[in-house]
Amino acid sequence: MPELPEVETIRRGLQGHLVGKRIQSVSGKPGRLFRNNPGGYEQVAATLQGKLTDGLRRRGKFIWMEFDGEDQVLVVHLGMSGQARVTDSSARHKHEYLRLHLDGGTQVSFIDPRTFGHLTLSEVRDSVPVVLEHIAPDPLDARWDADAVISRMRASRRPIKTMLLDQAVLSGVGNIYADEALHRAHMHGRQRGTDLAKDQVAEVLAAAQQVMREAIKVGGTSFDSLYVNTDGEPGYFSRSLSVYGRSGESCVCGTEILQETISGRSHFYCPKCQPPS
């Protein structure tokens, strides 16, 4: 579910509670979230016990926690339905898999009904977790290289929308912000990279960067209780969406918004603002 703006909102929410705090104890239960760790839940719990958190970083839709004097980090991916919540209540969500008990009494809970997300211990190389080396920088990263991404996209015959969603090309963009960026750039998602001018690709990437910055300012996009921040509150960007989830409604230009499928994902677009070629 969460894309870059929602993940960044969660990172900021966790940062204030976790950084500088020691993990006094860990609770939870085994589950698919730990599938990338050979020792499963027990290994993760034992490793985190007693650690002092000193940083919380993000690349695309992934967050990782750094610990004082340690080479190992905990990579957090929320998948489609993951939540990280800060609480002082002992109530357990049915799908809670990990809870960190911090000194001071604050607790951080990781919940994921569909278990598409994961919690993975990883070494770090060149300041990026090894398990995330195949994930490209996102448009808000200091390592972001727009020209390199533009060249790569223009060399491929794949639909532009599919490439915006490819986390090995650029990370952080998901189905919502891909469609919003394409609408802002007046481009239909089925346009092929090889058919686009450099300026056109530059424009859609700039639009993605801008729309995600705007969404972060209002805490991301919530359609329902699936996405909430670390305090359980929704984000407000849904009221600023131009096309995503709005098939049958009117575009700002007055034309009816349509929906079709590209590479198995819904694509919402305005046929007037975003001509197919």
Partner DNA sequence: ACCGGGACCTGGAAGC
Partner DNA sequence: TGCTTCCAGGTCCCGG
Token pair of 237, please? 């960007």
Q: Which is nearer to DNA, 78 or 100 (CB)?
A: 78
Cα gap 250→72, rounded to integer Å: 50
Q: Which is nearer to DNA, 108 or 193 (CB)?
A: 193
CB nearer DNA, residue 2 or residue 13: 2
Out of 11, 21, 59, 61, the active site residue is 61
Q: Judge whether 268 and 180 are in contact, CB under 8 Å.
A: no
Nearest to 104 by CA among 88, 92, 120: 88
**Applying CB under 7 A, which of residues 202, 223, 236, 246 lies at the interface with DNA?**
223
Rounded least distance, CB 46 to DNA, Å:
24
Element (H, E) at 232: none
Residue closer to DNA, measured from CB, 20 or 113 = 113
Give residues 14-33 in contact with DNA (rule: CB under 7 A).
32
> What is the phi/psi pair of residue 4, to 5°?
-50, -50
Query: Taking CB under 7 A as the rule, does residue 246 contact DNA?
Result: no
Q: Which of 80, 66, 108, 48 is nearest to 230 (CA)?
A: 108
Q: Which strand (E) or helix (H) includes residue 181? A: helix 175-184
Considering only 29, 115, 144, 202, the residue that binds DNA (CB under 7 A) is: 115
Q: Give the helix/strand (H/E) hosting 38.
A: none
Nearest residue to 31 (alpha-carbon basis) of 86, 108, 112: 112
Question: How far is residue 210's CA from residue 181's CA, in Å, rounded to a whole number?
Answer: 8
Q: Which stretch binds DNA (CB under 7 A): 20-28, 141-149, 167-175, 203-211?
A: 167-175
Q: How near is the Cβ of 112 to DNA at its closest, in Å? A: 9
CB-count burial class (<10 Å; 0-12, 13-18, 19+) for 161: buried
Site for DNA in 146-165 (CB under 7 A): 156-159, 162, 165
> Using CB under 7 A, which of 220, 229, 269, 274 touches DNA?
220
Active site residue 3: yes
The residue among 180, 191, 190 whose CA lies nearest residue 252 is 180
**Binding DNA by CB under 7 A: which of 79, 87, 141, 246?**
79
Minimum distance of DNA from residue 122's CB (angstroms): 12
CB 123 to DNA: min, Å: 16
What DSSP state is assigned to residue 223? S
Name the residues annotated as catalytic: 2-3, 61, 265
Residues making contact with DNA (CB under 7 A): 1-3, 6, 32, 60-62, 77, 79-81, 94-95, 113-116, 134, 156-159, 162, 165, 167, 174-176, 220-224, 226-227, 238, 263-266
